[in-house]
Amino acid sequence: MSNWFPKWRPYTGSIDARPVGTNEYLPPAQSVVLGIQHAFAMFGATVLAPFLMGFDPNLAILMSGICTILFFIMTGGRVPSYLGSSFAFIGVVIAATGYAASGTGAPNVNIAHAAGGIMACGILYAIFGFIVMATGTKWIEKLMPPVVTGAVVMIIGLNLAPVTVKGVAGNNFNMWMALVTVLCMGSIAVFTKGLLQRLLLLVGLLSAYLIYFIVANVMGNGTPINFTPIQQAAWFGMPTFHSPVFDVNAMLIIAPIALILVAENLGHIKAVSAMTGENLDPHIGKAFVADGIATTLSGGVGAPGMTTYGENIGVMAVTRVYSTIVFVIAGIFAIFLGFSPKFGAIIHTIPTAILTGASIVVFGLITIAGAKIWIENKVDFSKNKNLMVAAVTIILGTGDFALQFGDFNLGGIGTATFAALILNWFFSLKDKSE
């Protein structure tokens, strides 16, 4: 096992003087504080994603902790990453399950079908990882150039926009409170610095929650928050598990998200590699396999699919602490939270208006992340090939253009993803002929 894991060594010197390497560790008290900080960084997004799909947030938190520790073991403790609920699954899960209550916290009665699809996605993702371990990452970059990945990431956000806004439509108070939530998160993103800025989802949610409480519970406007379930909930207990159902239609809609996770994880590892100054390329295949198995395991108990978290990469950028041991502590903390029904009851008191406001921010950020991929990679839109691939993909995904094959519905995101890959390949034939 000594070759699988690095030789750990204590960090020496001042923490302000130089970064903490992936194979270094800090004193226990500092490590615990940093680990809890990482758990808070992932918290907002990891809880919001299951809420929008009708999954159990407690189970999502529990599995994020278990999967992070599993990722640490499978990558030999060499890739600093936290695994949390992936937003890439939201659109396809809603499409595959017919879930119409996104943003309300109501349970999804077809979770079992989504779970089977998430497992299929995780297996496909792990297969990609084994291929990368054998062949490298060049084929991924050829199959999914920036024009494709940028467009596909954008449609994940755009496809969900109508569902999000529908959650508050017709209720004037809720619409205003959704905008207040957007303003809270936006203010933290723009007017703060450092770690507070990285925690914009969590701190923004808490700020909007406090404002909602004052306006609704104290001033008597809108539906007040009901705190009774918190008092009735036990401190410790098991979250709700669901056995998967392997429905071919749901599996074919959800499984293609593996392509998005591959592109996302590849970008995250490249970013961490640049930050740490360590070459993490030899571990990319292992990271894909680990994330794929984690997603399969998570789907197997009825939790959302997993992905490496940009929020935690942001925390590393601020703290310059890259020790992978810190992520194990974060995972253990998340497991404890997952076993607390009282913690789950607190999450369930979050009003629909606040969840909708948070969704507007999150889905907007996903959309802009796609545009950022184009800008950072200098995608040349003077080329008609790039114009056509991007234009067709975005409209197919935003308009939810869902192809039907017999009983099978590919869904808007699935149709747009395959269209992007096929069009990019087909139009590239011109380059080869020239």
Where do runs of H (alpha helix) occur along 277-351?
Answer: 284-300, 310-319, 325-338, 341-348
Planar angle of CA 339, 344, 345, nearest 5 degrees: 135
Report d(CA 234, CA 223) in Å as an integer. Answer: 25
Contact present, 146 and 279 (Cβ < 8 Å): no
In a domain, 7, yes or no: no
* Closest CA relative to residue 36, chosen from 310, 335, 334, 341: 334
In a domain, 416, yes or no: yes
In a domain, 14, yes or no: no
Predicted confidence (pLDDT) at residue 302 exceeds the cutoff of 90: no
Q: H/E element holding 308? A: strand 306-308
For residue 352, what are the domain limits?
A: 25-427
Note the pLDDT tens digit of each residue in 200-223. 667 788 889 888 888 888 787 877
Note the pLDDT tens digit of each residue in 105-154. 677 888 888 889 999 999 999 998 999 888 887 777 777 788 887 887 78
How confident is the prediction for the chain on average, in pLDDT? 80
pTM given for the model: 0.72
Radius of gyration of the chain (CA): 21
C-alpha distances in angstroms, 299 versus 90, 105, 182, 205?
Answer: 13, 19, 31, 27
C-alpha distances in angstroms, 278 versus 78, 146, 274, 313?
Answer: 10, 24, 7, 15
273: Cβ–Cβ under 8 A, 6 or more apart, which residues? 279, 280, 281
* For residues 176-197, average pLDDT: 80
In a domain, 8, yes or no: no
Predicted confidence (pLDDT) at residue 21 exceeds the cutoff of 90: no
Pairing of strands 408-409, 404-405: antiparallel
In a domain, 53, yes or no: yes
In a domain, 11, yes or no: no
> Which residue type is seen at 236?
F
Count how many domains the chain has. Answer: 1
